[in-house]
Amino acid sequence: MQQPILNPLLIKKYNAPVPRYTSYPTVPFWQHDLNTDAWEKRFTEQFEQQNAVNGISIYVHLPFCESLCTYCGCNKKITQNHAVEDEYLQVIEKEWKMYRKRMNQTPVIREIHLGGGTPTFFSPLHLRQLVNTLVKGSIVHPYHEFSIEGHPNNTTRQHLDTLFSLGFRRISYGVQDLDPRVQHIINREQPFENVQRATDQARAAGFSSVNFDLIYGLPLQTKQSIEHTIQQVIQLKPDRIAFYSYAHVPWTSKGQRLFNESDLPSPELKLQLYMTGKEMLSGSGYCDIGMDHFALPHDELYTAMQKGNLHRNFMGYTTHQTGLLLGLGVSAISDLGNAFAQNDKTLHNYYEQIKEGRFAVKRGYFLSEEDLAFKQYIKDIACKGETYFYPAHLPLLKQYCFPQLQQPVEDGLVEYDERQLHVTDIGHYFIRNICSAFDLHLQRNLSSLPNQVFSKAV
Ligand code: SF4
């Protein structure tokens, strides 16, 4: 695929704080203290509608890590005590059973994703126990997709063989950066040999898709260091790459206070790091899927994009759409299609509630008809690069959205009329900005939002 030439000035211009749109409305607009009874009722209704049609997706958050990577913004618990695995799995099992009681038919499991934290902190035996708990008494869809996030330092061949035997075919490794100085300052020392071994072993075990997460904007990164990292990554040919912008949020992620801010690249250098990585990946045959994701042309993510079958949820882009994603574990997020909820973020509170037989959902959101329609516009733009408007929404579109599109139209990013919108080839790189024009919650609250809510587009 021919990649358009990007003007750095354009990137600089649109490098504003914007959501990643893994949900709409985005998390800052959710309600605190969600009504648990209303959530349970909505879960039962949506499960009944979605399960028989598409099956369900399950996300399990496995929060433990042996050491703290200082850049990390995830919900994690640092410990070297592996005795915690048992209790955590017992609570997950209880939570799953609580949901199972609200299911009036046998669940059809289409997707399982184990995320973290470090899922490979858990022993292969425990991961087997977890997956068996979920699939026991359930129907596993013939076209299921099971995936896991692995740490290159502690993913063993035994983990991979166990997961493969359970139906896992996708693994995502947190590579982040391969420069030893950068790895040292972010406290994530994982030599290239470990990444190579983990990748080779995943392929040897039979995994058909290996994803790497990379980050640009980390302390001590330079143009040369990122070039070297990307060169090494390209050697290993991961099927998919997520090339994320480092979000510096020391007010919420305390670990980020452990390195000196003067070691962070300047905004100009960060932009250069992104452009360098992007150009190298494009030059090596990777196709830009949108919002930081790249894939080789044989990968399903790319073919799904070509066919207009891409979807987006909390795990980023996916090739399936089940309509119901159930999140289990501390801080896990569920998406029922017309409602979101996130479990309590502290392990102690999560344990306490589940052990007492109460759902641990804490904050969330029930979508209105208007939310559902604008959620669809945003999803269409993010996944297909085009959308069609309902005539009934014209007053809202004219009041909030079209004025936001004036500059992107002048810059050649997007074309629209009162019936439809089309993202241009260049506009594809600014999908988050274009989506934000249709974020009515954001547009209605622009003046009252605090500065530090969303990370910058680059
Ligand atoms: S980056 Fe991953 S491994 Fe490191 S602390 Fe965060 S969740 Fe744990």
If you write DSSP's letter for every residue of 87-115 in order, what string do you get?
Answer: HHHHHHHHHHHHHHHT-SS--EEEEEEEE
Whether the Cβ atoms of residue 288 and residue 429 lie closer than 8 Å to each other: yes
Query: Among 64, 65, 66, 153, which residue has the most ligand 1 atoms within 8 Å of its CB, making it the best to mutate?
Result: 65
CA distance 199 to 196: 5
Q: Could you read off the pLDDT of 157-216 as tens digits, one per residue?
A: 999 999 999 999 999 999 999 999 999 999 999 999 999 999 999 999 999 999 999 999
- If you average pLDDT over residues 10-38, what whole number do you get? 89
Task: Yes or no: say if 116 and 61 are a contact pair by the CB < 8 Å rule.
Answer: yes
Q: Alpha-carbon distance 52 to 54, whole Å?
A: 6
Q: Is 61 in the pocket of ligand 1 (CB under 6 A)?
A: no
Residue 72 near ligand 1, beta carbon < 6 Å: yes
Q: Is the pLDDT of residue 331 over 90?
A: yes
**What is the distance in A from the centroid of ligand 1 to the CA of 118?**
6
Task: Write 355-362 long-range contacts (CB < 8 A, 24+).
Answer: 355/91, 355/94, 357/94, 357/98, 358/36, 359/36, 359/39, 359/40, 359/95, 359/98, 360/95, 360/330, 361/34, 361/36, 361/39, 361/334, 362/32, 362/33, 362/34
Query: pLDDT tens, 104-137?
Result: 999 999 999 999 999 999 999 999 999 999 999 9
DSSP string covering 282-351, please?
HHTT-EEEETTEEE-TTSHHHHHHHHT--EEETTEEES---S-EEEESTT-EEE-SSEEEEE-SSHHHHH
Cβ 74 under 6 angstroms from ligand 1: yes
Instruction: Answer yes or no: is the C-beta of 65 below 6 A from any ligand 1 atom.
Output: yes
Average of pLDDT values for 13-28? 88
Q: Is the CB of 69 under 6 A from ligand 1?
A: yes
Residue 416 CA to ligand 1 centre (angstroms): 42
Return the pLDDT at 73: 87
Q: Report the nearest-CA residue for atom 2 of ligand 1.
A: 117
Give 457's pLDDT tier (boundaries 50, 70, 90): low
- Overall pTM surpassing 0.85 (yes/no): yes
Q: Say yes or no: CB of residue 253 within 6 Å of ligand 1.
A: no
Nearest alpha carbon, ligand 1 atom 6: 72
pLDDT for position 451: 59
Residue 232: closest CA among 241, 156, 245: 241
What is residue 438's predicted lDDT score, i.e. its pLDDT?
97
Under the banding of pLDDT at 50, 70 and 90, the label for residue 449 is low
pLDDT band at 3 (very low <50, low <70, confident <90, very high): low
Kindly report, residue by residue over 272-290, the tens digit of the pLDDT: 899 899 999 999 999 988 7
The pLDDT of residue 35 is 92
Ligand 1, atom 4: nearest CA belongs to which residue?
Answer: 69
Confidence of residue 428 (pLDDT cuts 50, 70, 90): confident
- Mutation probe of ligand 1 site: the residue of 74, 148, 345 with most atoms within 8 A of C-beta: 74
- Measured in Å, residue 159 CA sits from the centre of ligand 1 at 18
Residue 392 tokens read as: 């009934």
The pLDDT score that the predictor gives to residue 22 is: 86
Nearest ligand 1 atom to the CA of 76 is 7
Atom of ligand 1 nearest to the CA of 65: 8
Torsion sign, CA atoms 306, 280, 410, 450: positive
Compute CA 215 distance to the chain's CA centroid, rounded to the nearest angstrom: 14
Atom of ligand 1 nearest to the CA of 151: 3
The alpha carbon of 298 and the centre of ligand 1 are apart by a number of angstroms equal to 30
pLDDT tens digits, 367-422: 999 999 999 999 999 888 999 999 999 999 999 999 999 999 999 999 999 999 99
